[in-house]
Structure 1
């Protein structure tokens, strides 16, 4: 493992290739489609994820007249985060105990219900149709698989993949059965006959790698894979320690992938490598972590990239959709891609070449205090103004704090460090602003692709971090059980597994109970595995004591939630999706480095430090409009409603809370936005003037949708979530609506 950081592989070295690409793509553009922005068949409206809708009925002048046109109740108490898509006169929603439902938007009546799709990706699904429109499919992920449903009948397509599904755990360089979590929270994106999809493998040590893949929507065949943690011989491999791809996880796309359909380019917003806050086992700049990567959408070939954070130690994923828009730059129209980050920066590039449109400077930042850690000495700082605070000071503390709390925080600030890119430590607190839930998250960017305006929902949410050494689990064993463990380990296990269970010729096992089911542990000890012989003489009580000693709990570790299928009222056509075959030989999740890998002696972790979301002064949430023709913020408005530490009338509170909300931008200059407290707003896109405001009966935690039918324009809001304890509960008001999808339109003309 190198003791010295390598220089990051910058885009400049590839500028000649990029310029050739510009000529190539300009010559090869396909015929422009009719209008990709007057339907809502993708999560973000269209493949570019702009949330832009081109229609003329709802305007700045009449938006305040919007009223509820119809309503679809979900008919249960489940909060759904699902973003509806609309195809022709059919809207697809989730409701009725995790059922997928097709609703006729003319009548509001159910067409079909596919019941009991527990585990379906929470945020939405994809629609695809063949050129002759005879084959119409809904493509989605569920229980770590991809499945397809006939969009007209609601029945599973069992010819897709193998027996109706594709196992997303396969092809990642790990034993598939050892991967407990991989399916994304977002639906991916459809381009031509491909589903391009990211993942959410978790953020622990040894999580699965987040390679981006494309699957054929008809056959389910894997068409290409882009290794976000490069493998030997691939570009970027030398920005990691040797063989890091064998144990590093994350580095995944867990938000929205944007597609330039004319050029066939996919833009990937890639997140942090694991472990997020301590990187002594991944010395280097760590491509393609925290990078915007442009790929040929048909082949998965990298075209260009830019890394927004080198060797991330702060969980500063790129977590929102890259926005594709045309800007007037230095007197010329340039097709650009802009990305907003969790830590409050906006980066803007030529969409084809990857050249920055506004200067980006590598600036020095402090080294790490942690033994073995090597924070990258510089970080890229764009010249555009930031959209969040980036530190907490005594002067910016929440003025609503009671004096007792304020005095505690004044003292804590004296001993803590706050500011951008200060590496975490085990010696003091780091107060990160924004923190793990700050800045721009998924669903939090939108744009008008035609005029260079980009809109961001941002949250001022601090995290308080402090690294702690990962210690063997503390176990409360009786003296008798402890003696059993020591006798067994010293006589049978220590020779291979090493002193203190830290590893030797066999892997370390001091944390294994946190990953292994008891049955798997017991089977391995008694029957052996690989080069390990079986020890049939070990009695059950000793096995349970040993299992507890390495962090397991025999009474609870094998518990699996068994959801009883429920058949809802209505036109149910199927239940449960394709049948997923159980693993024949289940392998425990990876819990230690491969035997031949040099690695740090210790691991460190921290929690997300989210106990004080209102640490700084409000507003805690805003909508920010950037004019990317000039690189300036055009306007900013506070949004949301949060009662955190606010004295007086708790139903009013202070502005705050936008995490994973959404927007719609219309061609008539209206920006619809949702925020905490069930808030729905309409702003003037040019100056931020508030044109209309509604408070929903339930919280809104999904991307809004919009559609046209018979010349009339409709706005769809998913209002099914619970209000948090620091929000006023509007569902308790007299006349409050039940959970459901609320559809707004202008009054009928008389």
Structure 2
């Protein structure tokens, strides 16, 4: 079964209330509603209690980025000005999204510290320093019902940890002496997993934190199971196997035993929760390897699915697969939006998900039934050895928000002639279009490519009025598959003989004839998990009881490293260590002490024994260096009216919008739009965009009501809070500009790198 819906009983059905409505009264009621709709476009609600705080990454557990307050309106938003700032120091927390609890704002800042700042005074309350490896995009807040226990829950270097939100100190009773190892419970040897932590925070439901992961996108990456942990004990409460195990629903959509070696199928982005119904909505990513799937033939549930789970138990309620057997890295990367829409004359609680390839899908939140038709359409077959692209893909009937092809006619007109001629030749042999399978025989130009479309932080909504907003980008990616060669294949016969001689005389007595380890550790595929600079230092300088071998040449070192499965000078960046505590009220440093692995196992690099698999593996790079390939605009904000199933308005944003007006000096052929929005109950939509741009749009028509340029680029999700009835907008402006000519940090009057808080001027 590719897509399935599973009915949930309405737990809030009131039969007595339903009996009060007769057919005649219903007709009168509908006539009244129609009359009201004819008098006004949309009514805005300033008293929505579920959206008056910003204690979650997306404002609230539904990730709507919606805020209910009456202070800032369409009429006065043009008067917005800087209220106060908090500098981040030398630290550049590019993607960290602040949360605000009561009168405290939690930010990431100097020396990789987590900092509590008073919104009353802008002063630091406490600093927990040296949290190197803290989840880059934010954290979760939880408090007990009596408000006596307040916690910040976050991931740090593959661990889940908790800090007291009041004192800033690590809660050592959480997990195992202060942390839970997230590498455990994945069906792989935990010490072999190098990467598991998602850079996005999870989501809180009651006393659970539901978290995704980012295990990597290569062959044999770890599986991306979704898990829920108790926020007090740190104990694992439930696991949803995104790659089904034997006997589970969806197992037959994979080859037998694929769960032993396939990875990914993870939620690296934002999980949305319907608090009333207790439903968690998972936007699930692609299986690995992303662009060649001969070892995972089938539709591959639950890859690229929107999945509804019982948030308390992790039980699947329904799912819909957006892409079958993904070969294009079309993750579901943006937050599912929970809206109430008027559909077929009835108000329906819906969930809508926007995709990286420019489609919008809308479902009944309880049943999973599509509200707008979805058609399975045929697409080309793959000609790669062993590959079988799925013959059809779901196409939404809603208008798409991106283009899907690059042609000579749509090529960027601002390219110089030399570049145009280059692309004329490439386009003559390349293939471009929706769902063209990647190949080793020709280039595939995918529009939009790996960056989206809609990416993380790029969706928001007005939940009660059925309006959804998407920040979208149209950057193409170019792909061409190539066969994977073993690192040893890069060595000549003479080099292999030289390495074997060196190993036998120098390494074998301690590490074993077959690198299995004797008195020293095993070295099988050691190059996969020891960076070259570290490897070189160990061989030349020694470590522990191992002496140094200073006579070894650079050529021999590199050959030996390749023989052990590594690639010299590829991603060989030593891990930064903790630095001295910053100035200020430092209360702790480093988080919980994580015990080192007793023995570090090598990552999986080959298929398990006796498991049938393809002879060869193929890979490709992302090919995003030509992201401004098609004609602009490349970045836009799009408003959908899901009551009607139409695009309400669309506006170009950022420097791209100036480029689109024909002035190439004002734009840049490239860059990403991983930005954010805040939708207010008064009909104002705030949005950040490329080039340090910050806008306030009219929610009804997209007209710009106010705009400003930040001193630094903003790449994080904006936040909002109120204090004594006054409304504040928080922007993380800490990223560097990509073009020196538009480096506003060097302009007169520039603000320091940090968090900028905007508000209306205080009346005198």
Q: CA offsets, 1:381-438, max 9 Å, x none?
A: 0100100011101110000011111111111111000000110000000000000012
- Give the 3-state SS of the residue equivalent to 2:497 in structure 1: helix
Q: Residues 459 and 657 of structure 1 are in contact (CA less than 8 Å); yes or no, is this contact kept in structure 2? A: no
For 1:409 and 1:558, the matched residues in 2 are separated by 34
Paired residues for 1:668-687 under 5 Å: 668-687=682-701
Q: Which residue of 235, 242, 255 corresponds with 2:249?
A: 235
Counterpart check, 1:10 vs 2:3: yes
- Give the 3-state SS of the residue equivalent to 2:162 in structure 1: strand
- Give the 3-state SS of the residue equivalent to 1:64 in structure 2: helix
For 2:558 and 2:696, the matched residues in 1 are separated by 60
Q: CA offsets, 1:677-718, max 9 Å, x none?
A: 011000001110011111000000100000011010000000
For 1:353 and 1:646, the matched residues in 2 are separated by 42
Q: CA offsets, 1:260-287, max 9 Å, x none?
A: 0000000000000000000000000000
Q: CA offsets, 1:452-509, max 9 Å, x none?
A: 0000000011000000000123777687643234679999xxxxxxxxx9xxxxxxx9
Report the RMSD for the aligned CA atoms in angstroms.
2.9
Q: Which residue of 472, 491, 510 corresponds with 2:486?
A: 472
For 1:194 and 1:433, the matched residues in 2 are separated by 39
Q: Which residue of 241, 253, 264 corresponds with 2:267?
A: 253
Query: Deviation at 1:335?
Result: 0.2
* Count of matched residue positions in the alignment of Structure 1 and Structure 2: 705
Query: Deviation at 1:23?
Result: 2.9
For 2:160 and 2:106, the matched residues in 1 are separated by 18
Task: Name the residue aligned to 1:121.
Answer: 135
Task: Name the residue aligned to 1:660.
Answer: 674
For 1:568 and 1:516, the matched residues in 2 are separated by 31
The TM-score normalised by the length of structure 2 is 0.88
Task: Name the residue aligned to 2:10.
Answer: 23
- Structure 2 CA distance for partners of 1:553 and 1:628, relative to 1, 3 Å: closer
Counterpart check, 1:170 vs 2:184: yes
Q: CA offsets, 1:75-115, max 9 Å, x none?
A: 21524311000000000011111111111101111111111
- Give the 3-state SS of the residue equivalent to 1:411 in structure 2: helix
- Structure 2 CA distance for partners of 1:393 and 1:557, relative to 1, 3 Å: closer
- Give the 3-state SS of the residue equivalent to 1:408 in structure 2: helix
For 1:639 and 1:271, the matched residues in 2 are separated by 27
Task: Name the residue aligned to 2:30.
Answer: none
For 2:635 and 2:441, the matched residues in 1 are separated by 31
- Give the 3-state SS of the residue equivalent to 2:252 in structure 1: helix
For 1:411 and 1:562, the matched residues in 2 are separated by 44
Q: Which residue of 574, 598, 604 corresponds with 1:584?
A: 598
Query: Deviation at 1:727?
Result: 6.8
Task: Name the residue aligned to 2:56.
Answer: 42
- Give the 3-state SS of the residue equivalent to 1:134 in structure 2: coil
Counterpart check, 1:641 vs 2:634: no
- Structure 2 CA distance for partners of 1:135 and 1:268, relative to 1, 3 Å: same
For 1:555 and 1:362, the matched residues in 2 are separated by 46
Q: Residues 453 and 474 of structure 2 are in contact (CA less than 8 Å); yes or no, is this contact kept in structure 1? A: yes
Query: Deviation at 1:551?
Result: 4.0
Task: Name the residue aligned to 1:369.
Answer: 383
Which sections of structure 1, spanning at least 5 residues, go unmatched? 1-7, 492-500, 502-508, 524-538
Query: Deviation at 1:566?
Result: 2.0
Task: Name the residue aligned to 2:296.
Answer: 282
Q: Which residue of 450, 457, 467 corresponds with 1:443?
A: 457
Paired residues for 1:499-514 under 5 Å: 513-514=527-528
Task: Name the residue aligned to 1:181.
Answer: 195
Q: Residues 683 and 690 of structure 1 are in contact (CA less than 8 Å); yes or no, is this contact kept in structure 2? A: yes
Q: CA offsets, 1:219-265, max 9 Å, x none?
A: 00000000000000110000000011110000000110000000000
- Give the 3-state SS of the residue equivalent to 2:263 in structure 1: coil
The TM-score normalised by the length of structure 1 is 0.89
Q: Residues 638 and 656 of structure 1 are in contact (CA less than 8 Å); yes or no, is this contact kept in structure 2? A: no
Task: Name the residue aligned to 2:313.
Answer: 299
Counterpart check, 1:273 vs 2:260: no
Query: Deviation at 1:9?
Result: 3.0
Counterpart check, 1:619 vs 2:606: no
Query: Deviation at 1:648?
Result: 9.6
Task: Name the residue aligned to 1:531.
Answer: none
- Structure 2 CA distance for partners of 1:207 and 1:556, relative to 1, 3 Å: closer
Counterpart check, 1:482 vs 2:499: no
Q: Residues 241 and 284 of structure 1 are in contact (CA less than 8 Å); yes or no, is this contact kept in structure 2? A: yes
For 1:705 and 1:555, the matched residues in 2 are separated by 40
- Give the 3-state SS of the residue equivalent to 1:149 in structure 2: strand
Query: Deviation at 1:35?
Result: 1.4
For 1:368 and 1:680, the matched residues in 2 are separated by 43
For 1:727 and 1:137, the matched residues in 2 are separated by 43
Q: Residues 405 and 446 of structure 2 are in contact (CA less than 8 Å); yes or no, is this contact kept in structure 1? A: yes
- Give the 3-state SS of the residue equivalent to 2:421 in structure 1: helix
Q: Which residue of 120, 123, 132 corresponds with 2:146?
A: 132
- Give the 3-state SS of the residue equivalent to 1:97 in structure 2: helix
- Give the 3-state SS of the residue equivalent to 1:618 in structure 2: coil
- Structure 2 CA distance for partners of 1:472 and 1:112, relative to 1, 3 Å: same
Task: Name the residue aligned to 1:456.
Answer: 470
- Give the 3-state SS of the residue equivalent to 2:756 in structure 1: strand
- Structure 2 CA distance for partners of 1:300 and 1:26, relative to 1, 3 Å: farther
Task: Name the residue aligned to 1:716.
Answer: 730
Which sections of structure 2, spanning at least 5 residues, go unmatched? 16-46, 506-514, 516-522, 539-550
For 1:187 and 1:433, the matched residues in 2 are separated by 29
Counterpart check, 1:313 vs 2:323: no
Task: Name the residue aligned to 1:421.
Answer: 435
For 2:225 and 2:259, the matched residues in 1 are separated by 11
